Each structure stands twice: as structure tokens, then as C-alpha cells.
Structure 1
Amino acid sequence: MRLTTSFLMGCLLAEAPMPESSPGPDIMTAPEIEQTVEVQPLPDSVRNRVQTGLSNYLGIPTDQINIARYSHETWFDGCLGLGGPAELCLAALTEGWQVEAIAPTGESYFYRTDLTGNQVRRSTLDNNLPPSLEARILQTVHTDVTEAEGREPALSITQAQTRVWDGCYGLPSETGDCPEIAIMGWRAIVTDGDYHWIYHTDNLGNTILLNEAASTNTVIPNLITGPMSGLSEADTTFQSVSTEGGADKAREVVVLDADGQLSYSQYRLDQPEENEIISLSQQQIDSFFSLLEENNFQSFMGLYYSPTADRIEFDSVALMAPTGMVLYAEASLDDLPGQLQRIIRSWEEMR
């Protein structure tokens, strides 16, 4: 199950179920691949056919549809890897394209085509990571693990999502500066069944970077989809929302605004709302935001850390900043990545 912001804020985790990973490929060892992928232009015939296909599907003009990511792919059969159970597919490699089309609402639709656009299929897969990029990510992780640990890992990609990165790919910079550019790419979670590595890439896989701070083997990271921030007000600088998972559910909201006011509200079924406001010193505020930067809070944006145990109900906490949110199960606090633990404990001390 992919986690959406509407789900998070609608119940905010009033009874958070254990998220399931998006379907990934069978566990495999990555094949050898070329070192560099050259950008190839998308043929006009393919572009036009994809726009026409989505136009017909949504009932809107083609000029309202934008083409975003695309990559040259080799499909494993004549159905472009999208054949149904009763469909007969030619067992032959088919050269073609994967294309992302963007509707006016901002929603993404992925299409697979042959080389010329004579065959076009809309993907209904949960995971649309391009196969060529998937292979490059798996090869990178395989090489890293083999060199570091001297073993042959059996790897799979459990989840992936599109991202638009800054010049640092959403990761901390040694200089503290990132080019103000937009890089289309992906974020993927790779596992060997024990450890979960999180990688940030460009669209083709020429740049593949490990998000070391967010990778872990003690809890399960999942990807949150949809808008990444759920702040209550425009002047909110940081916020947490905690929700109990039992039958007598409660919700606790703590908000830090731009004026240094820290407000605490608790909502419990059939009981009056509890409120408290305290003022923080500028030194406290500066110290907290310095700690966020020192512990790479940005590296955790858009992630949900769930318990490894099979629990139906558990207390959940969302930490929110203007740039995004991270979500975790409260019972897993001691198992979270170390930098995230330090951020959480500092926030709790301020309250």
C-alpha cells in the first residue's frame, strides 16, 4: 500500500495499518550494464501517440498533457511487459520507450511503447521504475555490498517513486550549497531481506547516490506519496502530529510558529480539547534548527518507518517541515536511524 498525504492527514494515522511494499521484481542479482547512458530524443511519433492516448483516457485536449520523464527500454515480450493472464504475448525482445505523461492535475501516467509508437500501452503497475534504471541501481548496490562485505547479495527493489531533485539530489552537501536546478529522477528502496538501502538517482541512472542517513536494518522504510508537507498554517515552521492506535484514539498536535510560539493541543474522543502555549527563546529555536541541519533532516523527507513486527495497531508520529514530512511508529523510536532519533528527542525536550 502506498501512503498518501490524504491518508495521513485524513485520519492522521488514527489506526495506521502496516504498509505493504509495492510489488517489486523477483529477488535477483543485477546483470552487468553499460557505464554511461546517453540521452536519446523521444520520437515525435511516440510523444504524439502517448499524448493522444492519455487525452482519450481522460477526455481532455492533448495540449493539456505534458511529457516528462522518458527512457529507452527493451521489453521482454511483444506485450511490452503489460500482458494480461489470458493474453498471448510474442516471446521476443521488443525495443521501445517508457514515457511519463502529466495531466493538468499534476497526476502522472506511465506508458510503454514500441520504438515508433505503433504499439502504446498505459501501465497500471504500482512500481513504474524503468527496467533499465532498475538494473543500474541493482548493479550499484551489488557492487557496493560485494566490495564492502565480500558477499554476493540477493537484491530486490521493493518501492520506487519519481522525484524532482535539487542539485544535491536531496542529500546533504559537503559545502552546504546546492545548485538551484531541477533534476528529474527517482528514489528507490533496495533490500537483501535484512538491510534496506535508499538510493537517489537521476532519470537514466548516470547518477546513483546512497541516502546513508535514512538507510537501516532495524525498521522498514516505506515511501509516502503525494504532497510532502502537511503543516497547519503558512507561518508554521515545524510541527508534529501523534495519533494513538487503540480504540480510544487521541491526537496530539504540537506546532512551532515563526514567532517562537510552541502550541500544544490534544484531542480525545468525547473529551474537551486541551491546549497549552509556551514561548521559546531565540537561542532554543536556533539550536533546534541547527540540529535539524546537522542531522540531515532533509534526508528523511517522504519516508515512513514502520515496525518490523506484524502489528495491526500502533501509535504513529509525523514530523512536518515546510519541505516535507517523515512518519514513524512510536514503538520503533529506539530502532530508527540514529540521526532521526536525535532530532525526535530534541523536539520532545523542547515540548
Structure 2
Amino acid sequence: MIKSVILLANNLMLKTHFHAKQARIFTAVMLSGILSVSSGFILIQNASALPSNFLVETPQEVVKQNVKSEPLPRAVANAVLQDIKRREGIATKKLKITDSIRKTWGNGCLELPRPDEFCTQALVPGWRVVVTSGQQRWIYHTNETGSVVRRKENNSSTLRPVPIPANELPPPLDRNVVFRQISSGGFIGRTYETVLLNDGRLIRVRIGDANDSERSVRRVTSAQVRQFQRVINRAQGEFQNLSYPASRGAADYITYTLTSRKGTVQYNDISQNNLPKGLQTAVKAWKQLVSTAQ
């Protein structure tokens, strides 16, 4: 077939008056067409021999391969690290953020509700952050800006209490006193005593204030006093003259000493979320009572 076409081309060149150069071009074109047709069979036969991974990437695949995780905002990182420093007493330079990912939390509590806390059902965009320091590891849920941070607590992190030395126990309650709180420490370093009387009076004084200038007297209703007493009675097992100490190296925390008719218990503000559930309920009831006093 190829020879016949070549002879036909030569005959055409003899019969025409084209220039020799034009004839060569024409012959080359004819031969290229023939070779293309012939080689087509070879290409088709060898197509199945292509490697299985010889595939064209789709735009979606290209995008997926080149997506980079979004960096954690500095404000969020600082908020998390500062919370660990405050609660654990660990310098931020010894902490390392090992993982962070954008999340949309299913409620206003960032999916980490506190005991008896009401959470709104609004969706909250934010971050899940993991921080480590040696053998310790913490998981945080935050909002988008870091103005709200919550730490995920494990049951294994519940504090172990130690007995309060007898010479450090406060005096028993007077007959007309229902409950007493003594708070001390913090940045200011002052000590305050707040007592709840049978008649509903809440009296707060600063210990060591010679002029009694910071003394305040407020009131709650008799119904509130009875309700609070019921909560304390259910938590009497927590008032066993025990202390829940702060983490080693912690500083600038406030120590609270609570005394009921049963006994005394002591804890601090940086580890209060790790207290036994019964004691947390009693602490919450006390704070709510104080906040509603007029």
C-alpha cells in the first residue's frame, strides 16, 4: 500500500510543473499521513501497557493535596497557655501546643458544661487545642477569639485530699452561724471571712482590718437559708477536715476554707473544677447564695 502511494506521488510530480522543492514537500506530507495511520494501530495495541498510576489528577485532588491546616491565632494560643500557667503554675515557655483544629461547638458551653450549668444551644465557632508539658497533656475548647477557654477534665484528675493539721483548723461555728467561708491569698494577699447567720444575714469582714472599714452586711430570705442548708446537709460527707491542695509550683491562687456544722474543707480557685462532685455542688450553692444577697 505504501509503495503504491509513493509511485502515485512520483507520477503526479512528473505530470505537474511544480518546482522540485514543492514536490519534496508534497511527498513528505503524504508519507506523514500514511505513517500516522499505520502507527495508530501500534498505539492502540500498546495503550493497555500504561502503568495503572498514570492518571490525570482532578482539580479536587490537586486542591486536597495542597490544603494546609489553618494556623492557630496568637490570641487563642496565649489564652490557653496563660490558663495553664495560672492553674498549674507552669511557665509558658515549658508548654508546647502539639495540635490545633477549627471546630464548631454545639452549644454555648463549648461542649464542656460544668456541673448543673445551663448551656445555650447556639453554635459557637472556635478551636480545639492540645498542649503538653513532659508527661502532662491538656485539651482545651475555645471560642474563635480565645476570650472563652474551657479545659477538658478527666475523672483521673480528681484531687486527692490531705488532712488539715489540727492547729490549722478554724474554730467551730457559733450557735447562730449556719456556714462560714474564709478566703485568703491571691494577688492582694488579704483574708476575708464571710458568715451566714440563722436570720439570713451575710456578714463579710476583712481579717486584720482594725477600723473594720470593709465590713458589709447583706441579707437573703429564710427560704434561701433553708434551701442552702439542705444542700449542705447532703454534702456533709465532704466536710471531714480535709484539704485539696494546689498543684506543685502554683502561685497567686486563693484558698477557700469552708466550715459547716459537720466540719471543715479547704480548696483553691485554680483546681476547684477537679473537686468531688458533691463538694462542687456545695461550693456552687454557696456562691449562688452570696451573689443573690441584698
TM-score band w.r.t. shorter chain: 0.3 to 0.5
Which has the bigger relative contact order, CA under 8 A and spacing at least 6?
A: 1
> Between Structure 1 and Structure 2, whose CA radius of gyration is higher?
2
TM (norm. structure 2) is: 0.41
Whichever structure has more strand as a proportion of its residues is 1
